[in-house]
């Protein structure tokens, strides 16, 4: 009997977890693989929704929890968090002895996972490389690509980009995004079978989800730190004026988090809006159900680009955060401008529902990823192809 | 009057310092630039030659010294050293507030400089990207490239490679290697005007440099950790057999250092060789003089590829460490095989001196680098070009 | 001319700064001393009032700012913050080369300063040892004492305790608390010459300070983490019922901070109290003026024990946080019990003002401390006296 | 059935392990206890004898290995190692969830264990407090005492001192030193049943242990860093002159290690002494057998004070390292003076063997410690007794 390959995944934030959940599940269930799960960073923190609780509720066993988030409203804290992550994860990998390590996407601290693995000659698997966003996330994403040995990307253009950067095409796979696996389930059974306020609490106005409603999720854009406050205020103005029931989700942590959060909090205190309910977080499955039944998603979340394109949910995408990511016909892009945001929402409300698109996969991504990891020759030596 | 641009260079190892010394000097001397110098890592440690002493003797003022090297003969220590570097350097940059940070080449801890700068939105300058070596150094080098905003490379093929990776060609400059600046001075005045043993001590046999002699500098190859000992023993066997006066330099620190060092130490204790003198380190200028007057350099140092090609010094390059680096006609490549190493040395001793080559620059690199840094628009936003 | 002694003080929190401000000023002004100032930890963070801004406004030059606070609502974060503090401060002291380091009181991260100094053979000065509080603070305080070489304590019982622990009595000085220096100035000129809301903003009800008012400052008690929320609710209930204008100050950071803060925030959102104004922080001088003109201070701040005893301000001290600290007749101690808290406040409001007490000094502490530091033989060797 | 108490011991160095081995064994074997073992610091490093190998060979399972040792010949590295230890151990304890943590003696990094436990409200057990040595070790030891909740000391004077420092006497136990448990076994069966050179290799002269021989073990004294080299040279001079077969043990790591090591290495290279054999380390059991059969132990190891007093082995104790530790009649104390060292050795060789002493226990310490840990009420609240 062959030994199972130990695959160590490091989850550092709530959205990363949602995105790869089906891949983790498929690794866990694969007869030739053993999942080792490390939860670190903001995924452990109450302020950012304690993703760790969802992870455990989903039936995963966590091998190690690692606290690394430095407090501070500045970029120095981001760098130090990453440094601390390298130190702690180096030790974790040394003790867990995985056959491969899996790092996800492009959050600043994901490079800590990459370094801790690559420097110890542990084959590094990177999910969701090759995309283009134009800020520090992009630098991190491509640096992760150059440290990684095996790449799973979510679209064809991403695959081509990774190969162009000099990666061996035999180790670059377009499996689609595992988040689409979840969306595919939702499409099969889209009924909203829970009351968001009853199940998740939140603060603000109280209303039912049986009527037409909007969803907002707007994150600060890291390198435009000082503008985070001003940016979100444009959206607040519009939503305030529209007076349509709205479920609003707080941003997750990064250097600008408090700018955005403070703007939202000030608005709440001053206006006490009855048509908006604010949530810290929601289980991914429920969140997608909320979206598929909504009239429109507003903000700059990548969910609008990926899951919503697959589910055919209209999206008003604000600002530069999703710049140059491949998108379906469901998305209208607007700058930080209240008038244009308002017009785009109205346009989405007025036109019939979009067709579903499979540019980010057709489901089964998690399974495909696990199968490849189980069968490919894992290696940590590579060289640029040109 | 315009404010001087503050350029913060981080030196983490003796060879890195030697290589960029003229660039540092040119930055220091440039009327529009102010040099901030941070010395970290093995450059501070006695075991690796205390480069910091040379730096101060050369007239540089050090703004901050940072201890980050974890002890241990394994790769976990390399990762943790890097993590610690990120944390400390983040704070250093926060306090020094440079207009740009300069990181050098590809040693494992150089990515700490890159992260600490990039995450704080400080424009990052990378020296010597685009080369190909095929191990962890290469992963680090290319990851540095993807984190950096401005690139100075040392050869035309490196420049093309950096651009192919998606970097903006307006920010990629082939200035040649600053180390060639020093070599150019030596070529103008090649006389060996000091006695190596008298000036640097060292241990082992005592002999004069007036006769024919060899120089050996062989580093462990990081990802072949367990073989470090065996590898250097091939060279020891050959040098022992040849009985030609030889100046041998200890390797600088990395995960395999002790394997190599132990092999050398055991050999010394057992054989007490009268024709070999062992040195920890030598000032770059003196080292190049020693080389230009030698019959052959043996080992795997990049000095053999760069400076020696410019100075026309014969080189026997052993193993994979310099793989795929552009080389002149002065180099004979051999694997870790005593017979082949011996034959290559004999061939170099028998044939007339090589022509000098300018593939790594023609001198004036330091000056060119400083001029570009002084005049280019520094930026920290970038995006891949495709 | 003799060289000035370089004295490096490390400030890690707003209250610590307030307490030692006059000592810092006296060191700065002393002809034989040079002040080096390091600001670290929560003193740099917006969430805790950005003490660093006050420090700079007071005319101090900061040599180095050091980010060390780990985010997290748990005790693991406290430990890691301390570890990070040791690492960073070790480097800071190495670069600043002080003749002595000054660490203050007993916050968890103060031991980082002590270790970084003691391990590098830098004489360590500890302020405010020898007090008794019965939780982790006390462990830290006494451990600081055992690492320190020179002790400045604030009361006679503290002096005796430090000596009993085995410290050399020639190096233990009861100088009184520097915070009393400020209080002495206030006593000389007690007029409230600013409008708190106009000058400091804050949130909540709007009212004038010309009428009778209360001040509340209640911190979580670290080792009773889970009870922080419940504890502060007792006080909220009483203040809500009394309907007397109240200036309420948020707690500073530690493991239970969010428990307390959340309780306060929930109360505000539910009750929107018009007679309470909430402040993050206030300049020490203004804060003392606010106190001397108040009817009563309620909570568990050490200001109630020290400054208020000197200024004769009535205090209702709640719970165990100030347990076994020497106190004047101005203090009524009560447990976490709404009825008892209410009765104690009413008793303080009904009885005539207390006499001023000098158990924590009579002013001039800062000056005394600076003089001793300038003249005593600094040393880092010591041994227990029995 | 009651749950077993999880007791987490942290081993950071070879000598610490030897000293507490029987206590670890007794905890492991106790029906009400579960041993969690963390190996950190120099105990993992080849340069210091890789204690971890002995620990595993003795049948212990290691829960976690933690790399923390910073490289560097200075005290900054000691401080940073400690800071890193706090950070890593905080995470380890968080994940292991022990009911109590055990820290040993007074090495600089032991306070990392203490802080990581105390700050997380984990009851802290300290072994070997209350002793007096007069340098940084003593500061660390007493600071450990002030952070600890339960104390096991090795002699009656140490017990009294810990109580005098304000510790609750119900939580201070003189169990004797666990190292004496091993010595007691040796006394019952003292035959030297192995050949040291055959079993342990080492370098230097080759000779049998059947004849009269000496043992040397001399550590640098931390706060006298610059003198480390000079100090050990006195001993080298005497041993060189005596020409008696000598087994010499390298010092373990601390800030002065390289000073001492370099002096020894230089001596070896120059003199190539045939009557001295140098060892890095030896299993504790074998080491005690070597001692009990030796004519005299020379140096400054605490083994001379503890185990040798119990076994009646003559000791020449050099310098201040064991100052004020209780000692038996087997010890002659001398300063760093070649003449006095020589005379003392000759005196020990000339006089009949000493009586055995039980000042450091009579055996069974390990068992006693485990029994108390299993039965006492574990707590993390304490306050000074006066």
DSSP result, A259-290: HHHHHHHHHHHHH--TTEEEES---HHHHHHH
Amino acid C178: pLDDT: 95
CB atoms within 10 A of CB D288: 25
Q: Which residues of B155-164 are buried (b: 16+ CB within 10 A; e: fewer)?
A: bebbbbbbbb
Which tokens hold the place of C65? 């700012």
Does C254 have pLDDT greater than 50?
no
Residues of chain D with pLDDT under 70: 1, 73, 222-226, 252-258
Option in C88, C90, C94 nearest B91 (CB)? C88
Asked whether B255 and B226 are in contact (CB, 8 A), the reply is: no
Q: Nearest 5°: CA angle at C294, between C293 and C300?
A: 130
What average pLDDT does this structure show over C65-94?
Answer: 93
Residue C301: strand, helix, or coil:
coil
Do the chains contact at A95 and D65, CB–CB below 8 Å?
yes
Does B256 have pLDDT greater than 60?
no
In chain A, what residues touch B87 (CB-CB under 8 Å)?
79-80, 83-84, 87
At C225, is the pLDDT very low, low, confident or very high (cuts 50, 70, 90)? Answer: low
Which chains form contacts with chain D, at 3 or more CB pairs under 8 Å?
A, B, C
Amino acid A134: pLDDT: 78
Amino acid C189: pLDDT: 95
Cα–Cα distance, A284 to A307 (Å, whole number): 11
Cα–Cα distance, B176 to B365 (Å, whole number): 6
Cβ partners under 8 Å of residue C138, min gap 6: C106, C131, C132, D382, D383, D384
Cβ partners under 8 Å of residue D105, min gap 6: D16, D19, D127, D128, D141
Which tokens hold the place of A100? 């491969």
| Number of Cα atoms under 13 Å in the Cβ half of residue D207 | 19
pTM: 0.88
Chosen from C110, C146, C153 to mutate, greatest number of chain D CBs within 10 A: C146
Asked whether A313 and A214 are in contact (CB, 8 A), the reply is: no
Residue C65: strand, helix, or coil:
strand
In chain A, what residues touch D64 (CB-CB under 8 Å)?
95
Do the chains contact at C45 and A70, CB–CB below 8 Å?
no
Chosen from B81, B98, B384 to mutate, greatest number of chain A CBs within 10 A: B384
Residue B9: strand, helix, or coil:
strand
Hey, what's the torsion of the CAs at D8, D10, D14, D19, to 10 degrees? -50
Cα–Cα distance, D132 to D326 (Å, whole number): 9
Amino acid D254: pLDDT: 47
In chain B, what residues touch C65 (CB-CB under 8 Å)?
91, 94-95
Cα–Cα distance, C130 to C165 (Å, whole number): 9
pLDDT digits (tens, 9 = 90+) for B187-206: 999 999 999 999 999 889 99
Do the chains contact at A67 and C70, CB–CB below 8 Å?
yes
Residue with tokens 């590094």: A124
Does C364 have pLDDT greater than 80?
yes
> Is B208 exposed, middle or buried (CB count within 10 Å of its CB: 0-12, 13-18, 19+)?
exposed
Do the chains contact at A71 and C73, CB–CB below 8 Å?
no
Cβ partners under 8 Å of residue C37, min gap 6: C8, C9, C11, C24, C55, C60, C61, C62, C63
The C-alpha of D79 sits at a distance from chain C's nearest C-alpha, in angstroms, of 6
Amino acid C229: pLDDT: 84
DSSP string, B286-338: HHHHHHHTSSEEEES-HHHHTHHHHHT--EEEESSTTTT----TTEEEE-S-H
Query: At residue D274, what are phi and psi to the nearest 5 degrees?
Result: -85, -15
Cα–Cα distance, A142 to C375 (Å, whole number): 59
Do β-strands A172-174 and A150-153 pair in parallel, antiparallel, or remain unpaired? parallel
Query: At residue C28, what are phi and psi to the nearest 5 degrees?
Result: -60, -40
Amino acid B255: pLDDT: 42
Beta partners for residue D37, in sequence order: D9
| Radius of gyration (C-alpha) of chain B in whole angstroms | 20
Do the chains contact at A67 and D91, CB–CB below 8 Å?
yes
Do the chains contact at D71 and B73, CB–CB below 8 Å?
no
Do the chains contact at C79 and D87, CB–CB below 8 Å?
yes
Amino acid A355: pLDDT: 85
Option in C64, C90, C94 nearest B95 (CB)? C64
ipTM metric: 0.88
Do the chains contact at B87 and C91, CB–CB below 8 Å?
no
Cα–Cα distance, D146 to A326 (Å, whole number): 61
Residue with tokens 């000391």: D153
Strands of chain B, DSSP E: 5-11, 33-40, 64-66, 100-104, 124-127, 150-153, 172-174, 203-204, 214-217, 246-249, 276-279, 296-299, 315-318, 331-334
Do the chains contact at B86 and A90, CB–CB below 8 Å?
no
pLDDT digits (tens, 9 = 90+) for C335-358: 999 999 999 999 999 988 878 999
| DSSP H helices in chain D | 14-29, 51-57, 75-96, 110-118, 136-147, 156-164, 178-188, 196-200, 228-242, 257-271, 284-292, 302-305, 307-311, 338-350, 365-375
DSSP string, D246-291: EEEE----STTHHHHHHHHHHHHHHH--TTEEEES---HHHHHHHH
Amino acid C321: pLDDT: 82
Residues of chain A with pLDDT under 50: 223, 254-256
User: Which residue of D lies nearest to A90 if distances are taken between CA atoms?
Assistant: D67
What average pLDDT does this structure show over B298-313?
Answer: 94
Angle between helices B75-96 and D75-96 in degrees, nearest 10: 110
Cα–Cα distance, B150 to A134 (Å, whole number): 16
- Starting at the edge strand that comes first in sequence, how are the strands of the sheet with C331-334 ordered? C203-204, C276-279, C246-249, C214-217, C296-299, C315-318, C331-334
pLDDT digits (tens, 9 = 90+) for A321-330: 887 888 899 9
User: Which residue of C lies nearest to B40 if distances are taken between CA atoms?
Assistant: C91
Q: Nearest 5°: CA angle at D219, between D218 and D224?
A: 125
Hey, what's the torsion of the CAs at B121, B127, B133, B138, to 10 degrees? -10
Asked whether D136 and D220 are in contact (CB, 8 A), the reply is: no
Cα–Cα distance, D340 to A13 (Å, whole number): 66
Q: Which of B325, B281, B334 is nearest to B307 (CA)?
A: B325
More confident residue, D99 or B14: D99
Q: What is the DSSP letter of D2?
A: P
Beta partners for residue D217, in sequence order: D249, D299
Strands of A116-243, DSSP E: 124-127, 150-153, 172-174, 203-204, 214-217
Whole-Å CA distances, D249 to B107, C194, D261, D283: 36, 72, 10, 12
User: Which residue of A lies nearest to B383 if distances are taken between CA atoms?
Assistant: A134
The C-alpha of C114 sits at a distance from chain D's nearest C-alpha, in angstroms, of 10
Asked whether D45 and D138 are in contact (CB, 8 A), the reply is: no
At B209, is the pLDDT very low, low, confident or very high (cuts 50, 70, 90)? Answer: very high
Residue C11: strand, helix, or coil:
strand
Cβ partners under 8 Å of residue C212, min gap 6: C244, C245, C295
Option in B64, B67, B91 nearest C66 (CB)? B91
Amino acid D262: pLDDT: 79
In chain B, what residues touch D46 (CB-CB under 8 Å)?
73, 258
Cα–Cα distance, B268 to B304 (Å, whole number): 25
The C-alpha of B201 sits at a distance from chain A's nearest C-alpha, in angstroms, of 35
Q: What is the largest CA-CA distance in chain D?
A: 66
Option in B87, B88, B94 nearest C65 (CB)? B94
More confident residue, D317 or C325: D317
Q: Mean pLDDT across chain C, nearest whole number? A: 92
Option in B67, B90, B94 nearest C91 (CB)? B67
Amino acid B226: pLDDT: 67
Amino acid D255: pLDDT: 42
Domains of chain A with CATH codes = 5-176+363-375 (3.40.50.2000), 189-350 (3.40.50.2000)
In chain B, what residues touch C87 (CB-CB under 8 Å)?
84, 87-88
Hey, what's the torsion of the CAs at A323, A329, A331, A337, to 10 degrees? 80
């Amino acid at each position: 009997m062959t030994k199972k390959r130990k695959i160590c995944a490091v989850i550092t934030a709530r959205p990363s977890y949602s995105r790869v959940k089906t891949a983790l599940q498929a690794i866990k269930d694969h007869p030739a693989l053993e999942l080792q799960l490390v939860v670190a960073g903001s995924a452990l923190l109450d302020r950012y929704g304690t993703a760790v609780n969802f992870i455990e509720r989903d039936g995963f066993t966590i091998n190690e929890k690692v606290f690394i988030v430095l407090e501070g409203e500045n970029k120095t804290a981001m760098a130090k968090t990453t440094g601390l992550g390298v130190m702690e994860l180096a030790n974790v990998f040394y003790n867990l002895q995985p056959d491969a390590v899996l790092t996800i996407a492009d959050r600043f601290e994901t490079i800590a996972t990459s370094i801790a693995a690559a420097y110890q000659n542990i084959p590094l698997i990177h999910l969701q490389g090759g995309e283009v966003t134009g800020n520090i996330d992009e630098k991190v994403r491509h640096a992760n690509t150059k440290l990684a040995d095996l790449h799973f990307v979510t679209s064809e253009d991403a695959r081509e980009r990774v190969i162009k950067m000099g990666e061996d095409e035999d180790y670059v796979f377009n499996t689609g995004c595992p988040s689409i696996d979840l969306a595919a389930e939702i499409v099969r059974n889209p009924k909203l079978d829970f009351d968001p306020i009853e199940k998740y609490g939140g603060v603000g106005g109280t209303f039912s989800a049986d009527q037409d409603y909007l969803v907002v999720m707007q994150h600060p854009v890291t390198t435009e730190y000082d503008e985070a406050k001003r940016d979100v205020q444009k959206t607040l103005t519009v939503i305030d004026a529209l007076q349509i029931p709205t479920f609003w989700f707080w941003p997750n942590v990064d250097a600008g988090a408090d700018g955005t959060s403070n703007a939202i909090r000030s608005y709440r205190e001053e206006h006490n809006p009855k048509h908006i309910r604010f949530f810290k977080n929601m289980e991914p499955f429920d969140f997608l159900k909320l979206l598929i039944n909504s009239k429109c998603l507003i903000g700059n979340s990548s969910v609008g680009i990926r899951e919503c394109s697959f589910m055919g949910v209209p999206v008003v995408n604000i600002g530069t955060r999703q710049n140059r990511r491949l998108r379906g016909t469901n998305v209208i892009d607007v700058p930080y401008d209240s008038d244009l945001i308002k017009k785009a929402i109205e346009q989405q409300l007025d036109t019939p529902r979009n067709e579903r698109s499979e540019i980010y996969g057709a489901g089964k991504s998690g399974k495909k990823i696990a199968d490849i990891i189980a069968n490919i020759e894992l290696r940590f030596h590579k060289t640029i192809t040109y």
